Amino acid sequence: MLLAACGRKKDTFMNRNVQALTTKYNVMYNGENAFNTGREELALGYSDNYYEILPIERIEVLDEVQLDKSGKNPNFNRAEEKAVKAIQKHSMFIGGQEYNPQIDEAYMLLGKARYYDNRFIPALDAFNFILDKGATSNNVNNAKIWKAKTNIRLNNEDYAIASLTKMLKEEDLDDEVIADANAQLAQAMINLDSIPQALPYMVTASEYVKDNELKGRYAFIKGQIYNRLEKRDSANLAFDEVIDLNRKTARIYRINAFIAKAKNFDYTKEDQVAFLELLQDLEADRENRPFLDKIYNSLGDYYRNTKTDTLAIDYYNKSIGAFKEDRTLQANNYQTLAEMNFDKALYKNAGAYYDSTLTNLEEKTRRHRRVTKKRENLDDVIKYEDIATLNDSILKLSKMSKSEQLAFFTDYTDGLKKRAYEDSIAAVKAASKNGVPTNNEFFKPGGTSTNTSGGKFYFYNSSTVSFGKLSFEKTWGKRTLEDNWRRSERKDAGNFDQTDEQVEDVTPISENAFFDPQTYITAIPTDKKLLDSLAKDRDFAYYQLGLIYKEKFKEYDLASNRLENLLDFQPEERLVLPAKYNLYKIYGQTGNTSLEDKYKNDILSNHSDSRYAEILRNPNAQLATDESSPEFKYKALYKQFEDGNYNEVISKSDEYITLYNGNEIVPKFELLKATALGRRDGFDVYKKALNFVALTYPNDEEGKQAQLIYSTTIPSLEFKDFLADDKGSKFKLVYPFNANETGSIANFKTRLDNAIKYYKYDGYMFTSVDFYTTGQKFVVVHGLDSRVGAEGFGDILANPRAEASTHRITRNKFGISTENYAIIQIHKNLEAYLNSENKNP
C-alpha cells in the first residue's frame, strides 16, 4: 500500500491525496515560509513617499528587468527551489491534465517569488502555465491578477487593463479577488497618469478589501487621488476612514492621514482653535514620537498660516531637529524657512537655507533645478551685501578717533570675557561631575547661538571662521595640509613644541590677546589708498544692490535705501547720475511724487546734457536713431562685430554695460560681448560667457537665447578631434599672417584675387581675411575639393609658368577641410592640427 501510494503515474484517489498532502505540508510549507519572510523584508526595507500617490504594493522595483534564472534574495531563491521541487517530484500530469491540486499552488508560489525578486519575465512563465494547463484550477483568477500585475511592472498597462476588465465582467469573483483586481486597475491608470479613471477602481478596491493593513493603505490612496482631483471634502472623508481604523491598520497611515487633512484645512472657514488642539494632541501622544518631524512641520504650517511667524520658525526648526528618514520633509522645512527669510528681504539667510534645501533633494529633479535657480539668483545680492557690510564697518571704524575706537573695542572684549568666564565655570562643573568637560559653548563655533540642528551653517559667520583659525593656530601652530599633521615634527619652524596630544592654552583670560582691545585697533587699516579702494568697492556694491532690489526682487524700499545711502557717500561721478535716475524711477513706481519730482528736477538742472535728462524731457521720443541712445550704439557696435573688430567690441561692450547698468539693453551688450569673446578666445571662453548671460538674465530674451545655445549648440561644439581628409566636404588653402601686417594682408589678398582670376578659377574660388587670434589672421582661399588640391594650387602659385610669373605668390601655407577649419577656429588649436598633419607653415 505504501509503494502504491507513492505513484504519480496513475490517477487514483490514494495517489492524488498522498501527493497533495506531501506537497502541501512538506515542500510547499517550507517554500511559503521562505516567501513570506522575503516579502516581509521587502516591506520593512521600503520607504513610502507620502508626497506622491502611494503605489498599491510596498515593494521597490529596480530600473532594469532581470532575465537571469537565479534571484538576488535568498528567501525568494529558497521559495523558488521548493516550488520547483514540488512540481518535479509531486506533479501528476497525466493525459494533458494535472491531478495533484497542490501543483497550481506551487506554480503560483514560483511566479510570486520571481515577481518579488524583480524577475518579471520568468514570473510570467509560471502564471501562464496555470492559465494554459489549469483551466479548472481555483487559482486561475489569481493567476490572471498576478499576470496583470507583472505586466504593469513591465510597463504593459494596456494589456493588464484589458485582461482585468474582461475578468471582472465575465467571472463570478470573491471579494478579495475583486479588491485585488480593482486595485491593480487603479495602479495601471495611475501609471498612465489617468487619475480620474483610477478613482472608481480605487473606491471599489477600498470597499471590498478585507485585510486591515490594505484597507488603511487603499483608503489613504483614495484620499490622495481625491486630493489630486482637487476634491478636498471627499479626500478628507477618505482620510477619516484611515483614522477610524485606529490600531487596526499601520500607524504610519493614520498619522499621514492626519497630516494630509491638516494640509487640506481651510483657515478662512474652519475652526482654527479645534484644529490647533488636534495638532497639539498629536504632539503630546507618546505613541507618535516616531512621527514628531511630520507633526512639528504641520504645527509650523499652522502658525505660518495664522501669521505667527516666530512660532512657525520654532516648529520648522523642531521638525528639522526631529529628522528621521524623510529627506523630502527636511527639504520642505529648509525651503519654507528660506522663503520666509526671502519674504523679509533677509536674502543672505535665505541663501543659507536654500543651500540646506539642496542637500536634501535628489539632483537632476525638477524641484532641484528650481531651487538651484532661486539660490543662484541670490548670489549677487549676498556677494554685494557682504562687501557693503564689511567695508562699511571698516570705514566707520577708521573714521573714529583713538579714544572712540578704544571705547568700542573695550565694550566688545568685555562681552567676550564675560562669556569666556561663564563657559570656563560651566566646563569645570561638567568636568567635576562627569570627568570630562561637556559644556564649553564659548569655544564652539557661533557660541551659544549655534543651531545644532543644521539650520545655520557656521561657516557663513566670518567672525566665527576667524576665531576658529586663531584658536587652531594658538593650539597647534602653523600646519600644512598633510597626513599625521598632529605630530610635533610637522610643525613649522619657530613654533612652540608640540606633542601628539592637544596642548591646552593656559594663558589667563586677562592676558589673552583675543580679549585685548589693542588687538583689534591695530588691525584697522590707515593707508589712504586702501581706504579709498574699500570705499570705492562699497559704493559700487550699494549701487548694484539698489539695482538688484529694484529690478530682480521689486523691493523698492530696500532699493531706495541703498541708492540714497550711496549718494550720501559722495561716490565717484559715474555712479551719481544712474543712482539719481533709478531713484526717480523707484519713487515713480511707489507713488512718492515729491521725491520723484525732486530727482527729476535734479537731473534736469545738474545733468542737463545727459541722456537721462533727454529721456526725462522727451519720454515718448523714438531714440533708436539718436547717436546718444544705447540702441544706436548697439547697432554701431554690432557693425564692428561683423567687421571682425572683436577687441573693440569687447572693450566697448564693457563700457556700455557699466554706463547703461539697469537698462533693458544691457543683456544685448552682454550677449554680443560673449559672442565676440568666443570668436576671439575660443570655445571654453565662449561657453563660460554664455553661461554667465544665461544665468544673469534668465528672464530676458538674450538670456533665454544664451541658455538655448548653451543647451543645444555647445554640446555639438565640444568635439575637437580632427576628421580624416576623406571625410571633408570642401577644402581651404590658408596663409597665416601676424595681425599687425594690416597693409601686407590687404595687398596679399588683392594679389591672390588677381591670380585666381588669371587662372580662370574665379567662378568657384574666392578669398577672405579671417580673424584667428588677437595676434594672428588668415588669408583664406575657399572652394577647393581636396587638401592635396588646395596645397597643389598653392604650389602652382609659388612656382608659376614663366608667362604667369607676375602672379607668383610665395608664403607659408597649409590645406585644411572646412570641417577641420571650423574646429581650429572654435577651439583655437591650430598647433595641434599642424602637428597632427606634420605641417609647419
pLDDT confidence of residue 394: 93
CA separation, residue 186 to residues 198, 204, 695, 731 (Å) = 4, 10, 42, 63
* C-alpha span between 147 and 572 (Å, rounded): 78
Domain boundary among 672, 701, 717: 717
**pLDDT tens digit sequence for 32-87:** 888 888 888 877 777 888 989 999 988 776 655 555 555 567 888 788 887 777 77
Per DSSP, what are the bridge partners of residue 773? 776
Instruction: Quote the cell numbers at residue 300.
Output: 509650523
Counting Cα atoms < 13 Å in the Cβ hemisphere of 570 gives: 1
CA separation, residue 543 to residues 347, 387, 615, 693 (Å) = 17, 12, 21, 20
Determine the 3-state secondary structure of 776 from DSSP: strand
Enumerate long-range contacts of 146-149, CB under 8 Å, 24 or more apart. Answer: 146/108, 146/111, 146/112, 146/115, 148/181, 148/184, 148/188, 149/57, 149/115, 149/184
* C-alpha span between 108 and 134 (Å, rounded): 12
pLDDT confidence of residue 79: 82
Residue 668 burial class via C-beta count within 10 angstroms: exposed 0-12, middle 13-18, buried 19 and up: buried
Residue 191 burial class via C-beta count within 10 angstroms: exposed 0-12, middle 13-18, buried 19 and up: middle
Going by the DSSP 8-state scheme, the letter that residue 363 receives in this structure is T
Indicate the pLDDT class of residue 507, thresholds 50, 70 and 90.
Answer: low
Residue 67 domain-assigned (yes or no): yes
Shared domain check, 320 and 370 = yes
Q: Is the pLDDT of residue 189 over 90?
A: yes
Shared domain check, 744 and 643 = no
Our measurement of the distance from residue 469's CA atom to the centroid of its chain's CA atoms, rounded to an integer in Å, reads 32
Shared domain check, 517 and 534 = no
Residues 509 and 519: beta-carbon distance below 8 Å: no
Question: How many folded domains does the chain comprise?
Answer: 6
Instruction: Quote the cell numbers at residue 765.
Output: 574660388
Counting Cα atoms < 13 Å in the Cβ hemisphere of 122 gives: 20
Indicate the pLDDT class of residue 299, thresholds 50, 70 and 90.
Answer: very high
Shared domain check, 7 and 97 = yes
Shared domain check, 123 and 104 = yes
Residues 683 and 826: beta-carbon distance below 8 Å: yes
Residue 172 domain-assigned (yes or no): no
Going by the DSSP 8-state scheme, the letter that residue 26 receives in this structure is I
pLDDT confidence of residue 164: 94
Shared domain check, 558 and 660 = no
Sign of CA pseudo-dihedral 527, 530, 534, 535: positive
Residue 114 domain-assigned (yes or no): yes
Residue 577 domain-assigned (yes or no): yes
**pLDDT tens digit sequence for 452-496:** 444 444 455 555 555 566 667 666 766 766 666 666 555 554 444
Indicate the pLDDT class of residue 660, thresholds 50, 70 and 90.
Answer: confident
Q: Which amino acid is at 817?
A: S
Indicate the pLDDT class of residue 642, thresholds 50, 70 and 90.
Answer: confident
| This prediction's pTM | 0.58
Domain boundary among 126, 152, 178: 152
* C-alpha span between 835 and 841 (Å, rounded): 11
**pLDDT tens digit sequence for 153-173:** 899 999 999 999 999 998 888
Instruction: Quote the cell numbers at residue 192.
Output: 498612465
End-to-end CA distance of the chain: 103
* C-alpha span between 632 and 331 (Å, rounded): 49
Shared domain check, 611 and 665 = no
Within 10 Å of residue 507's Cβ, how many Cβ atoms?
A: 12
Q: Which segments within 99-168 are labelled E, that is strand?
A: none
**pLDDT tens digit sequence for 585-620:** 999 999 999 999 999 999 999 988 887 887 788 765
Residue 622 domain-assigned (yes or no): no
Determine the 3-state secondary structure of 304 from DSSP: helix
Return all residues near 281 (Cβ < 8 A) that are at least 6 apart: none
Of the listed ranges 97-106, 147-156, 500-509, 813-822, the least confidently predicted one is 500-509
Residues 496 and 490: beta-carbon distance below 8 Å: no
**pLDDT tens digit sequence for 311-323:** 999 999 999 999 9
Domain holding 831: CATH number?
Answer: 3.30.70
Indicate the pLDDT class of residue 18, thresholds 50, 70 and 90.
Answer: very low
> Chain-wide mean pLDDT for the chain?
82
Residues 732 and 780: beta-carbon distance below 8 Å: yes
Per DSSP, what are the bridge partners of residue 738? 776
Domain holding 575: CATH number?
Answer: 1.25.40
Residues 159 and 127: beta-carbon distance below 8 Å: no
Query: Which uninterrupted H or E stretch holds 336?
Result: helix 327-343
Residue 114 burial class via C-beta count within 10 angstroms: exposed 0-12, middle 13-18, buried 19 and up: buried
**pLDDT tens digit sequence for 411-421:** 998 888 888 87
* C-alpha span between 614 and 635 (Å, rounded): 20
Going by the DSSP 8-state scheme, the letter that residue 724 receives in this structure is P
Residue 492 domain-assigned (yes or no): no
**Which string of b and e fits 386-395 if b means at least 16 CB within 10 Å?**
ebbeebbebb
Residue-number span of the structural domain to which 380 is assigned: 307-394
Shared domain check, 131 and 76 = yes
Shared domain check, 452 and 365 = no
Annotate 60-86 with DSSP letters as a single string. PPPSSPP--SS-S-HHHHHHHHHHHHH
Residue 432 domain-assigned (yes or no): yes
Query: Which uninterrupted H or E stretch holds 736?
Result: strand 731-738
Determine the 3-state secondary structure of 209 from DSSP: coil
Mean pLDDT of 562-589: 91
* C-alpha span between 275 and 299 (Å, rounded): 10
pLDDT confidence of residue 732: 92
Instruction: Quote the cell numbers at residue 215.
Output: 484597507
Residue 494 domain-assigned (yes or no): no
Sign of CA pseudo-dihedral 223, 228, 229, 233: positive
Q: Is the pLDDT of residue 239 over 90?
A: yes
Indicate the pLDDT class of residue 626, thresholds 50, 70 and 90.
Answer: low
Q: Which amino acid is at 830?
A: L
Domain boundary among 590, 617, 644: 617
Mean pLDDT of 171-198: 92
Within 10 Å of residue 758's Cβ, how many Cβ atoms?
A: 14
Shared domain check, 92 and 21 = yes
* C-alpha span between 707 and 337 (Å, rounded): 30
* C-alpha span between 315 and 56 (Å, rounded): 33
pLDDT confidence of residue 77: 79
CA separation, residue 512 to residues 444, 470, 799 (Å) = 18, 12, 86
Shared domain check, 118 and 10 = yes
Shared domain check, 537 and 420 = no
Single out the residue of 552, 590, 579 nearest to residue 347, CA to CA: 552
